[in-house]
């Protein structure tokens, strides 16, 4: 068996989230109950068919669910995605695992957008920075290509920064991949929560599947933008039947099928008009909560800096003293112990201990009162506890 590194962010969440008084490390939009979901659909019909026998069900996901997922990739500029080009998985974490397992092997080189979710990166080679608004450097991408480069991994919208990759940059990434016959894997788990693009970006960035390049993979789930982490349902989508079949073959070793109850709930959530109402609810919540977080950063601008998120549910804030980053792990631990607020430290959860010192990830789209109370407690800490936080070591 291959020895794998400790999954730092999940280990951190496991250690602190159960007892946090104010969990601002959660990355999902405020969760929904089945009753909430039913009200968003405006129907009296039960989401679950209690007379349905609980067999393994459809191995790749029900046709109804895969059809609804395929509609999420609908674009006037591209051919509609067929349900057969969708493979349902046990969350996006399994979708990513299968896509990576099926795409690369011994000796293959991978280029990964960084910082990002730890599961995705295998080499920390394509680093974005706050100084450049977390944008990707295409010249650097070209310089990183090797004869054995098999895969380019990107994350759009991006975790933990909340940045986006705009259409023009995505097109350039596709052009580079085409030239070298490289597969692109885009984790789109926070799509389509584009809540703060502004007038300079008149349209939501398209999915990676919209560029006419067959060797592209999109992974996503019901957890983040769709508020249903509890059903543990994700998917792999690709215009390449070869990629889907390879992932399906690997999937047999990890999961026979997702639960039929999970499939039913996801099918309902992604049907019209429920999906539209659900995304409207989450977009408005993100916009409202982000204003409060922005006010916090503005009030403490001598101690906190950021690039305001444009999408998704997370912000990456750097805490400093006299321009020097604080020890972000100590900051999070002190804050948790003194005021009960949970955040995720950047250097431990998104770097190797050397990168992203002073940064913390804030999940700002929980229920409204959770954010209000959490920011109040964070403000109290900034006034009566921040001075005790040590500076980051060089």
189 versus 121: which is more confidently predicted? 189
Mean pLDDT of the chain: 92
Report whether pLDDT(13) > 60: yes
Match 């431990």 to its residue by tokens. 348
* 328 neighbors 319 (Cβ within 8 angstroms): yes
Dump pLDDT digits (tens) for 207-248.
Answer: 999 999 999 999 999 999 999 999 999 999 999 999 999 999
Indicate whether 14 pLDDT > 90: no
Q: Give the pLDDT score at 15.
A: 77
- With tokens 């990002």, the residue in question is 116
Both tokens of residue 141?
């991408």
Percent of the chain with pLDDT over 90: 76
Spatial distance between the Cα atoms of 335 and 377, rounded to a whole number of angstroms: 9
Q: 310 pLDDT band (50/70/90 cuts)?
A: very high
How far apart CA 219 and CA 174 sit, in angstroms, is: 17
Give 129: exposed, middle or buried? Use CB within 10 Å, 0-12, 13-18, 19+: middle
Tokens 């788990």 correspond to what residue? 189
Task: Output the pLDDT for position 91.
Answer: 93
Torsion angles phi and psi, residue 298, rounded to 5: -65, -40
Tell me the domains of the chain and their CATH numbers.
8-33+276-382 (3.90.1150.10), 47-275 (3.40.640.10)
pLDDT score for 120: 59
The mean pLDDT of 87-103, rounded to a whole number, is 93
What b/e string do you get for 54-66 counting C-beta neighbours within 10 Å, with b at 16 or more?
eeebbebbbebbb
Give residue 1's pLDDT band: very low, low, confident or very high (50, 70, 90).
Answer: very low
Rounded CA separation 141/152 (Å): 9
Interval 338-378: pLDDT, tens: 999 999 999 998 877 678 999 999 999 999 999 999 999 99
The token pair that represents 366 in the structure block: 């929980």
Judged by DSSP in three states, 211 sits in: helix
Cis peptide bond prior to 353, omega within 30° of 0: no
Selected residue with higher pLDDT from 6 and 231: 231
Alpha carbons 76 and 334: distance in angstroms, whole number = 51
């Amino acid at each position: 068996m291959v020895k794998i590194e400790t999954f730092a962010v999940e280990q951190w969440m496991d250690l602190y989230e159960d007892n946090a008084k104010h969990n601002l490390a959660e990355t999902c939009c405020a969760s929904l109950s089945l009753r909430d979901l039913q009200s968003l659909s405006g129907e009296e019909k039960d989401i679950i068919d209690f007379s349905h026998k609980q067999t393994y069900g459809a191995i790749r996901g029900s046709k109804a669910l895969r059809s609804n997922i395929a509609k999420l990739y609908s674009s006037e500029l591209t051919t509609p995605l067929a349900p057969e080009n969708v493979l349902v998985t046990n969350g996006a974490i399994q979708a990513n695992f299968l896509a990576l397992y099926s795409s690369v092997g011994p000796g293959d080189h991978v280029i990964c957008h960084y910082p990002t979710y730890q599961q995705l990166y295998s080499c920390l080679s394509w680093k974005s920075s706050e100084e450049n608004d977390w944008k990707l450097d295409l010249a650097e991408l070209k310089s990183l290509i090797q004869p054995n480069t098999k895969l380019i991994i990107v994350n759009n919208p991006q975790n933990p920064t909340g940045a986006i990759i705009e259409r023009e940059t995505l097109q350039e990434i596709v052009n580079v991949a085409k030239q070298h016959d490289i597969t692109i894997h885009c984790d789109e788990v926070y799509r389509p929560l584009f809540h703060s693009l502004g007038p300079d970006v008149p349209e939501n960035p398209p999915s990676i599947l919209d560029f006419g390049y067959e060797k592209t993979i999109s992974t996503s789930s019901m957890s983040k933008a769709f508020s249903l982490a509890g059903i543990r349902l994700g998917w792999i989508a690709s215009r390449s039947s070869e990629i889907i079949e390879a992932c399906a073959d690997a999937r047999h070793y990890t999961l026979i099928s997702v639960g039929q109850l999970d499939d039913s709930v996801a099918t309902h959530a992604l049907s019209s008009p429920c999906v539209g109402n659900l995304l409207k609810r989450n977009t408005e919540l993100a916009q409202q909560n982000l204003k409060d977080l922005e006010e916090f950063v503005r009030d403490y601008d001598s101690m906190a800096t950021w690039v305001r998120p444009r999408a998704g549910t997370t912000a990456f804030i750097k805490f400093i003293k006299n321009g020097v980053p604080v020890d972000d792990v100590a900051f999070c631990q002190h804050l948790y112990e003194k005021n009960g607020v949970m955040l995720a430290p950047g250097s431990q959860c998104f770097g190797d201990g050397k990168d992203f010192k002073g940064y913390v990830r804030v999940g700002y789209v929980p229920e409204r009162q959770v954010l209000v109370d959490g920011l109040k407690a964070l403000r109290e800490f900034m006034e009566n506890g921040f001075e005790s936080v040590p500076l980051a070591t060089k």
